[in-house]
């Protein structure tokens, strides 16, 4: 029982500690950022997947939750109204946080767009990213929002399709011929970003699943402690019952019952009464005899 309780507590502690994510400058992020699945590396990237507004949601209700991508990036989808009140879908890609403060090239994090000189980025914030082919599985990326002009330059970044699959997931100097789309395709992607295919979505846990895990963990601990309390109470009652059956009760013991037979006449009175009855009978018999004698005498005379 104690081992089960300890395991439940350790599982809850591991869940809580796994959610700690760090910015590139080392300061800790809030619980909005949750860890993403890792393909085998020591560290994991984090995305803002713990927001109240699920993805895809209405942007007027606040930022929507991110979705973890297999390459370590974060995808954010939301619906926003235009000037005429018509809603359109916005798809954005971000480099968020990591589970370690070591953002060096060998630290295991997706160390891209962390320089202060990068457009709309920095070491103390998340980084907006542009997929050069307009899709979530793009092999080359650029720092900044819709920065497609970078895709044909040496500033483009090569990112592995699966984060953690190799020791080096990014390179600072891409190939001379990046696999970017033509300029016309980039322009169309700027006006209407394509929606990623469902296969690019990661198998990370949703906010509801994590909440259910937390509630289930707390419920399991409560049930275990309740069962232990009931078991201890039952054992205590059994001890008290056995003690009462062996030891005499010191208080409230009823007095012993004494039987008193009904009073009887003394034996002497019964003995004295018997001769009187016999004497009366004898007197009666003698008188009868005397009368019969007298009658007999009269007959003889």
Q: What is the pLDDT of residue 225?
A: 79
Cα 101 from Cα 123, distance rounded (Å): 11
Distances from the Cα of 186 to the Cα of 79, 81, 88, 129, 149, angstroms: 22, 23, 19, 14, 9
Q: Is the peptide bond between 186 and the residue preceding it cis, with omega within 30 degrees of 0?
A: no
pLDDT tens by residue, 13-62: 444 445 589 999 889 999 999 999 876 667 789 999 999 998 888 888 88
For strands 66-68 and 57-58, give the pairing: unpaired
Please, which residues have CB within 8 angstroms of residue 24's CB and are 6 or more apart in sequence? 98, 103, 109, 111, 114, 123, 124
Q: What is the pTM of this model?
A: 0.52
Pick the more confident residue, 79 or 188: 79
Q: What is the pLDDT of residue 226?
A: 84
Top mean-pLDDT range of 78-82, 240-244, 271-275: 78-82
pLDDT tens by residue, 91-144: 999 999 999 998 887 778 899 998 866 555 556 788 999 999 999 999 999 999
Q: What is the pLDDT of residue 28?
A: 92
Work out the mean pLDDT of the chain and round it to a whole number.
Answer: 70
pLDDT tens by residue, 152-192: 999 999 999 888 765 433 444 443 334 433 333 333 333 33
């Amino acid at each position: 029982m104690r081992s089960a309780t300890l395991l439940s507590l350790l599982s809850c502690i591991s869940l809580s500690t796994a959610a700690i994510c760090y910015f590139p400058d080392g300061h800790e992020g809030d619980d909005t950022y949750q860890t993403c699945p890792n393909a085998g590396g020591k560290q994991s990237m984090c995305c803002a997947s713990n927001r109240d507004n699920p993805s895809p949601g209405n942007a007027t209700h606040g930022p929507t939750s991110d979705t973890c991508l297999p390459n370590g990036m974060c995808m954010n989808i939301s619906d926003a109204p235009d000037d005429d009140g018509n809603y359109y879908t916005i798809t954005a890609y971000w480099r968020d946080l990591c589970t370690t403060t070591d953002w060096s090239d060998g630290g295991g994090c997706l160390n891209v767009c962390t320089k202060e000189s990068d457009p709309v980025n920095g070491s103390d914030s998340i980084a907006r990213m542009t997929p050069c082919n307009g899709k979530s599985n793009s092999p080359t990326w650029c720092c900044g929002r819709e920065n497609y002009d970078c895709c044909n330059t040496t500033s483009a970044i090569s990112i592995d399709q699966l984060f953690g699959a190799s020791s080096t997931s990014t390179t600072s100097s891409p190939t001379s011929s990046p696999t970017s789309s033509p300029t016309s395709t980039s322009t169309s992607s700027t006006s209407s970003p394509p929606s990623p295919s469902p296969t690019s979505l990661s198998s990370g846990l949703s906010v509801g699943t994590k909440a259910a895990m937390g509630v289930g963990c707390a419920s399991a601990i409560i049930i275990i402690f309740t069962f232990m309390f009931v078991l201890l109470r039952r054992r205590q009652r059994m001890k008290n019952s056995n003690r009462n059956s062996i030891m005499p009760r010191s208080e409230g013991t009823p007095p012993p019952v004494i039987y008193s037979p009904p009073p009887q006449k003394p034996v002497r009175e019964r003995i004295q009464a018997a001769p009187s009855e016999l004497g009366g009978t004898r007197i009666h018999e003698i008188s009868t005899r005397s009368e019969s004698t007298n009658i007999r005498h009269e007959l003889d005379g």
